[in-house]
Chains A and B, each alone.
Chain A
Amino acid sequence: MSVPILEMKNITKQFPGVKALDDVSFKVERENIHCLVGENGAGKSTLMKVLSGVHPHGSYEGEIYISGELQEYSNTRDSEKAGIAVIYQELALVPEMTVYENVFLGHEIRRGINININETIKQTVEVLKKVGLDVNPSTKVKYLGIGKQQLVEIAKALSRDAKLLVLDEPTSALNESDSENLLNLLRELKKEGVTSILISHKLQEVISVADKVTVLRDGQSVITLDGHNGEVNEDVLIKHMVGRSIENIYPDREKKPFGDVVFEVRDWSAYDPRRGRNLLEDVNIKLKKGEIVGITGLMGAGRTELALSLFGNPVGYQIKGEMLINGKPVSFSNPHDAIEAGLAYVTEDRKGNGLILIQDVKSNITIANLDRITEGGVINENAEIKDAREYTESLDIKTPSINQKVLYLSGGNQQKVSLAKWLYVQPDVMILDEPTRGIDVGAKYEIFTIMNSLVEQGMSIIMISSELPEILGMADRIYVVSSGRITGELQKEEADQETIMRFATM
């Protein structure tokens, strides 16, 4: 057998507090399509960042060999020179530039100090032919659909003589025929000597295209399977992806019968005019009083978009469908309406759109419901301090004082401030989007305990999470989202990771 095109040996990558990669070895044979699968956070992207030099030599342990030669990249340019091209989920194209400008961006064909445009266009046409893209090279990239943009990105890689293509979730934003196209292209390129590493959540696609599959889990490479001798199927992959033991970090909750349906959406669709596609299609969800409903799915399935569209739609999707609160139809034109109707939304990105980091704990807690402490438009500062103290204490937020800027709190405490802020509006229905993202196990446990006590008091919770164990541990009922549709609904008793994964990869 020939020397593998890529061999990564014993890669360990440490971030503050987490081991993202733990002694991972990964070997890719020449002219193969090698798939890399794993749950969110398993370490796939980190591994590829090590490979491409985003994490430079010295920031990780282990060795990288390309065609048998030891590589030490200090940046992404070095890895490009070695023939590695990485195509990320968010495409790295300049929308306002033409196709040919994009293809040769950063390695322009020059004549003296000028760019040789004719030669550039000629070579662009050739490389576009290779990827099977029939567009005028002088078209601005922004006028191309996402599928064609992806092909431009691949053309860009080929124009640099890339021998090893890394594609990170290339089909997550594509429709079926575009996806099929892309996979065929990879098969074609394989014949011409280009090796691909494909990261994907869509297992069917992995099974159909892979020569080899490597499964990563919790920063370790679990197994590498051969795609041709029949050992790769969905069950096997899912088993390896989720096969960890689940520790019992979920506090018990008193079993009570649920009340009436408090919140319901029917045939809910959202179209994003900017991205030009449907983010949600015919979503139906019900939530009963005192219930925790989990919504899960893989990255890009439309979980956060769903939450935003329900919560007053501040980003301006075009929405169809019906929303009912306590059986009465409602419609919101902004988040304010949603809050008034008894909804609260704890955002996934607490730093980006959840908290006002430069303001103190007190102001962050009261901001969504100043009515509670204002009379005639004037804030009663003493009442505010009293309330803020009460919430800080009841949620056990660790802060030197309520006058501390939120910026200086730990992730877990910031999340609790977020919760306090939304509890302060005294909602009936709370949407929690990735409530435990980036916080440690202890803080997670506290958040779960708070959630339990809330539903025991009669609140209803929609918990959006990509972490299956926590969905399984906390939710009474689970909806699985994939490509903007609800592909499965499971009762707590019938749900397990394999079943959820199957629906999520549908």
Chain B
Amino acid sequence: MTFFKEIIQLLKKNIRDYGMFIALFVIMAYFAIATDGVFISSRNISNLLNQMGYIAVLAIGMTLVIVIRHIDLSVGFMAGFLGAIAAIALTQWNLPVALVIPLVMIFGIFAGLITATTIARFGIPSFVATLAGWLIYRGALSQATLKTGTIVIPNDSFNALGNGYIPDLPLPNFLPGLHKLTLLLGVVAAVAFVISEISSRKKKMAYDFEVLSKSMFVVKIVFMLLLLGAITYVLAGYNGLSWTAVIVLAVTLIYHFLTTQTYLGRHIYAVGGNPEAAELSGISVNKITYVVFGSMGLLTALSGMLFASRLQSATTTAGTLFELDAIAAAYVGGVSSAGGVGKVTGSLVGAIVMMSLTNGMNLMGIDISTQYMVRGAVLVLAVIFDVATRKRV
């Protein structure tokens, strides 16, 4: 009996955190049924992850921007522009991929810092500053692709970013039809997860802190393992883990770590929660603004390259409306424009939710005009849910 009580209590306490996952589960289950299982086929899930990669990366950066009470409208065309720069660097400057990727990322950071300067140094509202950026990068993108129009990228290793998969282990006779390395990584991740959970629980108990009851702890571990196992199995059933998925996972893990475990993360959320109090606590609000917009620029560069790689070319309209998709994903994922609230993992889930809607409705053959309205409704519902649950003590 106490076991169920604990479950209910946990659900009540963490409804905000779990709500998004529950919503995602419901949406996925609905599409799975409505499309006779096509939606959750290995091939489609793999596709879906590749489709949402460039938005997910932006949404993660946008989360921090919104957390510190700003907004960045310029990231769409900035991503398009930086993708074009990557294409030019590869095709016209003939630079190797290994140099182009870090170079474009540095450009991205630089562009982000320029945005931050207008906001932190000159005190322009971020909405206006980045609206100007939206125009400027749109022009810059047009200019970059002016001579050639669409720049086709013939570089296979660059194009693998958006289309390729991690290689498989050379064991043709072992488990045919499944991607062995993906399975192996899944197992490694599972083991690492279990070990870290157990050690963290032990440490907490050593300090005499509150922990989940033993049965609840086991249930949590089993649940997470099942989830991880299911994802791994589904992905291994097609081509395995894509490079895009690897990048998104890596970015999510790094940002999750930065925001939850470090000094810097704490400072970012403090600035978002109460800038005056943060300043008086010895935190430089300006410095945090530079860091957050610099990171946004970095992720914008990554997003731009992912998109260019996926299309295997830089187009004149690349990046159009990315910024709004990223903002929507962040809001669906639970960030608050009042500042100081929002998790990068939430935004990742938000991005998956939005992309699932598009993908699922496409599979069902639903008209694009209806799709927009459904996505709009989901955005509003998500935020209403968020606001309603936040009022609780």
Binding site for B on A (CB under 8 A): 311-312, 314, 334-336, 338-340, 345, 347, 352-359, 363, 366-368, 370, 374, 377-379, 381-382, 385-386, 401, 408, 421
Contact = CB atoms under 8 A, between A and B. Distances in A.
Interface string B271-300: 001101111111110000000000000000
A352 B262 CA distance: 25
Contact of A345 (B203, B204, B280, B340): B280
B210, B263, B340 — most chain A CB neighbours (10 Å)? B263
A356 B274 contact: yes
25 contacts: A311-B280, A334-B279, A335-B280, A335-B282, A336-B284, A339-B281, A345-B280, A347-B280, A352-B276, A355-B277, A356-B274, A356-B277, A358-B341, A359-B270, A363-B270, A367-B266, A374-B263, A378-B261, A379-B262, A379-B266, A381-B261, A382-B203, A382-B204, A382-B207, A401-B210
Contacts of B266: 363, 366-367, 370, 379
B273 A353 contact: no
Given A356-B278, A363-B269, A421-B281, 11 more contacts: A352-B276, A356-B274, A358-B273, A359-B273, A367-B281, A374-B262, A377-B264, A379-B261, A379-B263, A381-B261, A382-B207
Contacts of B273: 356-359
A352 B280 CA distance: 11
Name the interface size band of chain B: 20 to 34
B207 A385 contact: yes
Given A377-B263, A379-B266, A334 B284 contact: yes
A367 to B, nearest CB: 5
A491 to B, nearest CB: 32
Given A377-B264, A379-B263, A379-B266, A386 B280 contact: no
A504 B273 CA distance: 37
Given A335-B281, A336-B283, A353-B280, A359 B269 contact: yes
A358 B207 contact: no
Nearest to A359: B273
Pairs A-B, 10 closest by C-beta atoms: A353-B276, A336-B282, A356-B273, A368-B281, A339-B282, A356-B274, A374-B263, A377-B263, A377-B262, A314-B279
B4 interface: no
Contact of A354 (B210, B262, B277, B282): B277
Contacts of A347: 277, 280
B299 to A, nearest CB: 20
B393 interface: yes
B122 interface: no
Interface string B201-240: 0011001011000000000000000000000000000000
Nearest to B274: A356
Contacts of B207: 382, 385-386
Contacts of B277: 347, 352-356
Nearest to B203: A382
Interface in B1-57: none
Contacts of A357: 273-274
A386 B207 CA distance: 8
A400 to B, nearest CB: 9
A401 B13 CA distance: 14
A21 B210 CA distance: 48
Contacts of A421: 281
Nearest to A373: B263
Contact of B263 (A336, A352, A356, A370): A370
A358 B340 contact: yes
A359 B279 contact: no
Contacts of A311: 280
Contacts of B282: 312, 334-336, 338-340, 368
Given A335-B282, A353-B280, A367 B264 contact: no
Given A354-B277, A356-B277, A370-B263, A382 B283 contact: no
Contacts of A368: 281-282
Given A347-B280, A352-B276, A353-B277, A359 B340 contact: yes
A332 to B, nearest CB: 10
Given A314-B279, A334-B284, A408 B274 contact: no
Nearest to B275: A353
B207, B263, B277, B340 — most chain A CB neighbours (10 Å)? B277
A356 B68 CA distance: 13
Contacts of A370: 263, 266-267
B266 to A, nearest CB: 6
A352 B276 CA distance: 7
Contacts of B267: 370
B280 A367 contact: no
Contacts of A354: 277, 280
A356 B270 contact: yes
A47 B276 CA distance: 33
